[in-house]
Amino acid sequence: MRTPARAIAALATAALFFGSATAQTNAALGRSVDIDFSEQSDSFTSEGPVSYGSDGASFTITKSGDSPKIASKWYIMFGKVEFSMKASSGAGIVSSAILQSDDLDEIDWEWLGSDADEVQTNYFGKGQTTTYNRGAFHADAGSQTGFKTYTIEWTAEELVWQIDGVTVRALKPADASGQYPQTPMQIKIGSWAGGDPDLNSPGTVEWARGPTDYSQGPFTMQLKSLTVTDYSTGTQYKYGDNSGTWQSIVAVDGSVHSGGSNVDSAAPAVTSSSSGQPIPWSGTHDSSSTYVRPSVYPWVPESTTLTTASTQTATSYPGLPSGWTVTSSGKVVPPSSAPVRKASSRTSSPWKRVC
């Protein structure tokens, strides 16, 4: 297990880069699109072994080091995303469909190949993990045998996850302990071998329910189509200040719209959530931004509920450099005189960083 000092050192490094968000500009989608992945889309960049055909984009892992993914060239500022996809089988194989901002806000769907009838949801705000109690499990029968539609409906008022039109989870900002995602998001889809012990830490291998046996492959995740509606308009989204709030985002040649459709947000109670450890910052989560996220072990699900999970936040850490402070939300803040500089990229992730 990572020591508190090492964990906070990684968080402190990440904190150095939030200050540069005011200079960040993202290309805006600003409209609705329907993308058929029977052929490569010019709206996405690709990396690794991704092929295209009648069943859409296929993300195939055949050997150690394979980690296919695609990422949108544009961002949305609140919106609705519908993924028509089929998860991969295979112990230690992780299929992912996520929204992620340059400020490390994140909204996730995640499937583990060893669990054919289950999917995980999660969210992060500014890369802060606090007590790591935000991930949840949901029944998802047939996720590896046929195409299903997974939806993320994201507004300033509520975040909703749906499977085939049925809401499985809903989150309001008041229930997010200050971690509600609210900055422009890029779409990322892909698969990776979290269970490969030659590429990942023991904690990540355990979380992914590995180890991965490549002789049992190939392992393929498929994305048939994607429907995206950007609720805001314009050509670019700019960070107006360092607050990381949606009100600070500026839409160039357009406007930020905080509302959305009348989605059914009635969700069943969460009966299995994470507590104690976070999801790994690797795989599809590996950001293309220049900001550095915490380097931490994966979260391990436990039987609990989001309303009863502990929300205690540390206010100090062993080994915290002189002058550094910790906010009530657990964020590490450097002294005002601390220099802002770019740190070297981590190399432990199986994904290549696209800085």
> What residue type is 64 in one-letter code?
S
Question: Mapped to the 3 state alphabet, what secondary structure does 217-251 carry?
Answer: CCEEEEEEEEEEEECCCCCEEEECCCCCCHHHEEE
From the list 175, 191, 183, the residue with the least C-alpha distance to 273 is 175
Task: Please say whether the beta carbons of 247 and 238 come within 8 A.
Answer: no
From the list 260, 231, 256, 259, the residue with the least C-alpha distance to 246 is 256
Count, in order, helices (H) and strands (E) of the chain.
2, 22
User: How many angstroms from the chain centroid is the CA of residue 155?
Assistant: 16
Q: For residue 128, what are the CA distances in angstroms to 1, 39, 124, 139, 196?
A: 18, 37, 6, 27, 26
Q: Check 39, 47, 82, 106 and give the catalytic one.
A: 106
> What residue type is 19 in one-letter code?
G
Longest dimension (CA), the chain: 58
Would strands 148-154 and 136-139 be described as parallel, antiparallel, or unpaired?
unpaired
Main-chain phi, psi angles of 304, to 5 degrees: -160, -170
47 counts as catalytic: no
Q: What is the DSSP letter of 128?
A: B
Write the CB contacts of 69 (distance below 8 Å, at least 6 apart in sequence).
46, 47, 48, 50, 59, 188, 189, 190, 191, 192, 284, 351
Which token pair is 3? 């020591």
User: How many angstroms from the chain centroid is the CA of residue 81?
Assistant: 14
106 counts as catalytic: yes
Q: Check 39, 47, 82, 110 and give the catalytic one.
A: 110
User: How many angstroms from the chain centroid is the CA of residue 56?
Assistant: 22
Which token pair is 225? 């189509």
CA neighbours closer than 13 Å in the CB half-sphere of residue 138: 25
Peptide bond before 268: cis, by omega within 30 degrees of 0? no
Residues acting as catalytic residues: 106, 110
